[in-house]
Structure 1
């Protein structure tokens, strides 16, 4: 386990390990790029789920499709493509071969992405946050686990994310538990 994930577990209670981990090869083939090691370790440890009742950590192929990273990424590609026909593209995407891959969203409609450039190192990708209007962006040059640790510890504060996030007492609710509630099997 990477040091940032170890540190994150100090702030965010870790659920029982998921029964199944994503098929990372299939996910990377679908997304046509490698995924960051820390994200894989995070999802292997936590699974997809809800952080502090607000941030939805996405998981490739999650049975609860609200938390399916592959589905959400495809939807965001389409939505952003349509939006950027009429709105300014973020400066980071002015290179035609750069793109975004969504790894989290919020219940307010913000999206958290990796900035992916041809030949880049997946483990050093920039985290970008887009507000619900699609106009404002924030950029963080850090890994997903570093970003989550910094936000939950109060080291950084996003101007885009909800001002009540993070909560004083952190909580993680696995998508599989939310799914079971929806199905009435919990």
Structure 2
């Protein structure tokens, strides 16, 4: 599908929830989406191309870009990445979130499911996410 093995938790999220957003804020990229902006086969190349361009303009990246692969996006433009290290062990990959139009990056030691649970339970604050993210009941919204 994307040229490498996908983490088991990602496959479970896609199978369980399908296309949509968590709390109308985080969209997990899906295979075969009718929306190119959230299609895991389409969206990542443009995102990575933009980051490579930004890096050539003198803005250092906190990790080697070849180790990152976008797996989701927030309504604010934050990208959620897998840090694919080691490449052959996808269930060990950590999650990285970046700030749109800024230089902040946050690292989360855990998989995508762990990040979603931590953020939407209030156990983990991502400084770039809105402070009132949990003001309303968290739900999954299919589209």
Q: So what's the TM-score if we normalise by structure 1?
A: 0.71
- The match for 2:80 is 112
C-alpha distance in structure 2 between counterparts of 1:164 and 1:67, whole Å: 24
- The match for 1:128 is 96
Q: Which has the higher helix share?
A: 1
2:92–2:111 CA contact under 8 A, matched in 1:
yes
C-alpha distance in structure 1 between counterparts of 2:16 and 2:73, whole Å: 19
Give, in angstroms, the shift of residue 134 of structure 1.
Answer: 4.0
- The match for 1:155 is 123
Give, in angstroms, the shift of residue 162 of structure 1.
Answer: 2.0
- The match for 1:20 is none
1:131–1:161 CA contact under 8 A, matched in 2:
no
Q: Deviations over 1:107-154 (max 9, x none)?
A: 111100001135441001010000011411000010111110111111
Please list, as runs of the form range in 1=range in 2, the aligned pairs for 1:89-100 lying within 5 A after superposition: 89-90=61-62, 92-93=63-64, 98-100=66-68
* Corresponding residue pairs, total: 142
- The match for 2:60 is 88
- Root-mean-square deviation (CA), in Å? 1.6
Give, in angstroms, the shift of residue 48 of structure 1.
Answer: 2.3
Give, in angstroms, the shift of residue 54 of structure 1.
Answer: 1.4
2:94–2:109 CA contact under 8 A, matched in 1:
yes
- The match for 1:59 is 30
- Gapped runs of 5+ residues in structure 2? none
Q: 1:101 and 2:69 equivalent?
A: yes
State the secondary structure of the residue aligned to 1:84.
Answer: helix
State the secondary structure of the residue aligned to 2:97.
Answer: strand
Give, in angstroms, the shift of residue 101 of structure 1.
Answer: 0.9
C-alpha distance in structure 2 between counterparts of 1:156 and 1:116, whole Å: 22
- Gapped runs of 5+ residues in structure 1? 1-26, 176-186
- The match for 1:39 is 10
